[in-house]
Amino acid sequence: MAARRLFHRFVLSFGLGTALIVAPGADAQDAKNLGDGIPTPEQYVQSAGGDSRVLPPGQFKLDGRRQLCGQRPTVIDNKLDDYGAAYPGFIIMNPRYLSKVSTPVKQWIYAHECGHQFRGPDEETADCFAVQRGRRQGWLTHEGLDEVCSFISPAKGDAMHFSGSYRCAYMRKCYEDPTIK
Ligand SMILES: [Zn+2]
């Protein structure tokens, strides 16, 4: 199972109570084949199957709003066991889950995964990145932040994801941070 754990280590899940995800069908042998454990978007899609597909940067939209994360492509995976996830180099979004939440929450999820691209695996840092980006770009109001907070409130803390209320308090602090433009 060591190889499997290694594989998991590179998967940064949004994590609402669920643990780290792994591409469906991936096993220790896949992880070994992937070398450093980081698949390309194409390898991920091949492994996930179904109607999963890769969208080039600038092609992914949430409620008609174009989402950008530098030059990172977005992988659509309706079978992902979470709303979103990130591998270094690309973002995974699950439209089936995302259709259940409001526009600001959707955008916050995307921005959180984008935060992992630029700021690394730390969850608090990705949360902070997301709300400050939302404030700067104008899509996250105080009301929207409230929606995000109620969205994550049932989330149980685990090793990677702090409890929802803790994350929320930290995000509010980040959102209000006057030193950040
Ligand atoms: Zn995360």
Cβ pair 91, 113 in contact under 8 A = yes
Sheet with 12-13: strands ordered across: 12-13, 84-87, 90-93, 74-76, 53-55
Question: Separation of 20 CA from ligand 1 center, angstroms?
Answer: 10
User: What's the whole-number average pLDDT of the chain?
Assistant: 82
Return the percentage of the chain with pLDDT > 90, whole number. Answer: 65
In-domain check, residue 150: yes
Question: Separation of 34 CA from ligand 1 center, angstroms?
Answer: 22
In-domain check, residue 181: no
Question: Separation of 68 CA from ligand 1 center, angstroms?
Answer: 17
Both tokens assigned to 38: 């980081």
Question: Separation of 112 CA from ligand 1 center, angstroms?
Answer: 6
pLDDT, tens digit, 9 for 90 and up, residues 104-119: 999 999 999 999 999 9
Both tokens assigned to 136: 């700067």
Q: How many domains does the chain have?
A: 1
Tell me: pLDDT of 24 over 50: no
Tokens 């209320």 locate to: 165
Question: Separation of 32 CA from ligand 1 center, angstroms?
Answer: 24
DSSP of 93-136: E-HHHHTTS-HHHHHHHHHHHHHHHHH-S-HHHHHHHHHHHHHH
In-domain check, residue 32: yes
pLDDT, tens digit, 9 for 90 and up, residues 34-82: 456 789 999 999 999 999 999 999 999 999 999 999 999 999 999 999 9
In-domain check, residue 167: yes
Question: Separation of 140 CA from ligand 1 center, angstroms?
Answer: 18
Supply the range of the domain harboring residue 61.
2-176
CA distance 14 to 18: 9
In-domain check, residue 136: yes
In-domain check, residue 128: yes
Which whole-number Å values give the CA distances from 102 to 39, 88, 139, 140, 147, in the listed order? 30, 26, 12, 11, 8
Q: Which residue has the higher pLDDT, 91 or 178?
A: 91
Both tokens assigned to 47: 């492994």
CA distance 88 to 145: 26
In-domain check, residue 43: yes
Under 8 Å CB-to-CB from 125, ≥6 apart: which residues? 115, 119
pLDDT class of 12 with cuts at 50, 70, 90: very low
pTM for the model: 0.79
